[in-house]
A and B are shown apart, each in its own frame.
Chain A
Amino acid sequence: MSDILWLIYEFFKAGLFAVGGGLATLPFLTRMSVSHPDWFTTEMLANMVAISESTPGPLGVNMATYVGYTVAGVPGGVIATLSLVAPSVIIIMLIYRVLQQYKNNRTVENVFTGLRPAVTGLIAAAGFSVFRMAVLTGGSGSLITLVSWKALLLFAVLFAGTQWKKTRGLHPVLFIAAGAVVGLLVAF
């Protein structure tokens, strides 16, 4: 199957199963880098996430456009984006008439008590693959020699920054910019 057809299939699937918005599509993208190794690496995906967070537009849509563009150029970007949103459009229109009941429906509520924690775990797993790639240097050897301690320290400082009362409200772009500056100066 050509890349374009695969893009339609993969992004329609992501749009259909990624519940919770924003980063919820990320686990599906990390999965794509495994099932389509010729498309992009985890490293490239992390770069795309950074650029998607620093440009206007909903995160999920930005990531779809970027991944699609990386795989198959401008048509790829357009097709990945439209495939991602197609399930939303279809589902919302189909359940429009029952939406008000749907929101307060006991069964829907039950399903979501199961879904919410699992989605958190899924995003954590996707984040972990980005983290592993960001703090481990290439090559072989024991875990201790592979870890870039400088990168790990930067991670700790930036993560603390996202939690500390005085800095946690700062825009994500500022954290990304800080990472870029330290990366330029220190080189991992």
Chain B
Amino acid sequence: MKELLTLYCAFFRIGLFTFGGGYAMLPMLQREVVNRYRWATDEELLDCYAIGQCTPGVIAVNTATYVGYRRRGVAGGIAATLGVVSPSLLIITIVAMALSPFMTNPYVVRAFAGIRVAVSALIASSVVKLARKSVRDVPGIVLCVAAFVIVAVLGASPIWVTLGAALCGFVMGRVRDRK
């Protein structure tokens, strides 16, 4: 029971000090998981991070489940996961409650019009960053453009694109491996 609480608290701190997500949380994970509690070594943490990226879902949550499950089985996985999402639940609920009466205020409306432009610039920069890493050959370009067109122009669900792309990757790999 005590260790479950420790897991919850450690991942609560990790969630609280994660901004954005992805690689931003790695230093905080290292501090808590590797240096402070020695639940995993640096290499194990990086492995677990790699696995978190290639399983569906939020990477922070996948990592929390993995480390928690390793320590204390199912209960540990759940405790760590609840820990990592608790700060978001508290902070976002409070912010949403506090902001909602102001969302029709003309100054807030004007500020948010500018903020939305900034958000689209930030998303564009994430896309550029991702594309540099993942779109490196002709099949990659075709898949990336096709996914964009199918969702943005044809209005299909991202689920079909995800499944289709996974299938393409599988088939292309088979063909390449056979050569």
Contact partner of A53 (CB less than 8 A), chosen from B111, B117, B119, is B119
Convert B48-62 into 0s and 1s, putting 1 for each residue whose CB lies closer than 8 angstroms to a CB of A. 001111111111111
Contact A78 B89 (CB under 8 A): yes
Q: Which residues of A contact B95 (CB under 8 A)?
A: 51, 55
Query: Which chain B positions have C-beta within 8 A of A172?
Result: 19-20, 122
A81 lies within 8 A of B88 (CB): yes
Checking A89, A113, A188 against B113 with a beta-carbon cut-off of 8 angstroms, the contacting residue is: A188
**Closest chain A residue to B88, Cβ basis:** A57
Contact-residue bracket for chain A: 35 or more
Q: Give B59 Cβ to nearest chain A Cβ, in Å.
A: 4
Task: Flag if A17 contacts B162 (CB, 8 Å).
Answer: yes
Shortest C-beta distance, B40 to chain A (Å), equals 13
Q: Which of A157-188 contact B (CB under 8 A)?
A: 158-159, 161-163, 168, 171-173, 175-176, 178-184, 186-188
Nearest B residue to A102, CB-CB: B51
Cβ contact within 8 Å between A17 and B93: no
Nearest Cβ distance between residue B39 and chain A, in whole angstroms? 15
Assess the B151–A114 pair: CB atoms within 8 A.
Answer: no
Q: How far is the CA of A19 from the CA of B131 in the complex (A)?
A: 15
B58 A175 Cβ-Cβ under 8 A: no
B residues 4-19 near A (Cβ < 8 Å) are 15-19
Given contacts A21-B22, A74-B93, contact A118 B147 (CB under 8 A): yes
What's the dominant secondary structure at chain A's contact region?
Answer: helix
- A-B contacts counted at CB < 8 A amount to 386
- For A58, the chain B residues whose CB sits under 8 A away are 15, 18, 20-21, 25, 58-61, 84-85, 88
B59 and A18: CB pair below 8 A?
A: no
Using an 8 Å CB-CB cutoff, how does the interface string of A127-142 with B read, 1 for contact, 0 for none?
1111101110000000
In the complex the two chains form, what is the Cα distance from A176 to B114 in whole Å? 8
Q: Mark A99-126, 1 if CB is under 8 A from B, else 0.
A: 1101100111111111111111111111
> Given A21-B59, A117-B147, A131-B124, are A93 and B88 neighbors across the interface (CB < 8 Å)?
no
**B92 smallest CB distance to A (angstroms):** 4
Interface of B is mostly: helix
CB-CB under 8 A from A91, the residues of chain B are 55-57
Shortest Cβ gap from A142 to chain B (Å): 20
Among A55, A100, A121, the most chain B Cβ lie within 10 Å of the Cβ of: A121
CB pair A151–B15 under 8 Å, yes or no, is no
Q: What's the Cα separation between A131 and B126 when bound, in Å?
A: 14
B22, B120, B173: the one contacting A111 at CB < 8 Å is B173
| A130 with B119: CB separation less than 8 A | yes
Contact A22 B117 (CB under 8 A): no
Question: Chain B residues near A62 (CB, 8 Å)?
Answer: 88, 91-92
Determine if A95 is an interface residue (Cβ-Cβ < 8 Å): yes
B151 touches A125 (CB 8 A): yes
Specify which chain A residues have a CB less than 8 angstroms from the CB of B93 in the assembled complex. Answer: 65, 69, 74, 77
A26 at interface by CB-CB < 8 Å: yes
Q: With A53-B122, A114-B166 in contact, do A88 and B62 touch (Cβ < 8 Å)?
A: yes
Is B141's CB under 8 angstroms from A117's CB? yes
B107 contact set on A, CB distance < 8 A: 184
By a CB distance below 8 angstroms, the chain A residues around B22 are 21-22, 59
